[in-house]
Amino acid sequence: MHQPTITQLFDREAIRDCLHRYCRGIDRADEAALRSCYWPDATDNHGSYSGSAGGFIQLALSVFKTQPRNIHQLANIMIEFLGPAEAAVESYFTALQRGPDEAGEMRQMLLCGRYCDLFQKRE
């Protein structure tokens, strides 16, 4: 069995911290928290959205700033190092989102899925 290095253990924790910041940022519509999760040149393929991470953040804020608080939870975070500066990360999520439907009636939606991310360590 492969013994992780101390650096890999620190990197794993930094990745988990980034994932948790993202969930908290989405749930609270916190722009600074969301921006801290992406490199400036990052892209995001998130359901019906595919483009710059900055564009996704603006889209998410336009939706979640106007709606009640949401809840995201993560599980089964698998981290595979592809080299000293990259990791492929797969995490399962559950999200409870509340908001008005087309008729203005408050609805709850339970979403479950998987995030597949490529993390890069720079400088």
How confident is residue 1, by pLDDT bands cut at 50, 70 and 90? low
In this predicted structure, the answer to whether residue 3 has a pLDDT above a threshold of 80 is no
Task: Give the model's pLDDT for residue 2.
Answer: 72
Looking at residues 34-57, what average pLDDT do you find? Answer: 95
In this predicted structure, the answer to whether residue 66 has a pLDDT above a threshold of 90 is no
- Concatenate the DSSP letters of all residues of the chain into one string: -PPPPHHHHHHHHHHHHHHHHHHHHHHHT-HHHHHTTS-TT-EEEETTEEEEHHHHHHHHHHHHTTS---EEEEEEEEEEEEETTEEEEEEEEEEEEEEE-TTS-EEEEEEEEEEEEEEE---
- Whether the CB-CB separation of 11 and 88 falls below 8 Å is answered with no
* Residue boundaries of the structural domains of the chain: 6-120
Task: Give the model's pLDDT for residue 68.
Answer: 66
Q: Establish how many alpha carbons lie within 13 A of residue 52's alpha carbon, considering only the half-sphere containing its beta carbon.
A: 7
Give the model confidence (pLDDT) of 93-112 as tens digits. 999 988 767 787 878 889 99
Looking at residues 45-58, what average pLDDT do you find? Answer: 93
- Domain 6-120 matching CATH 2.40.110.10: the answer reads no
Model-level pTM?
0.88
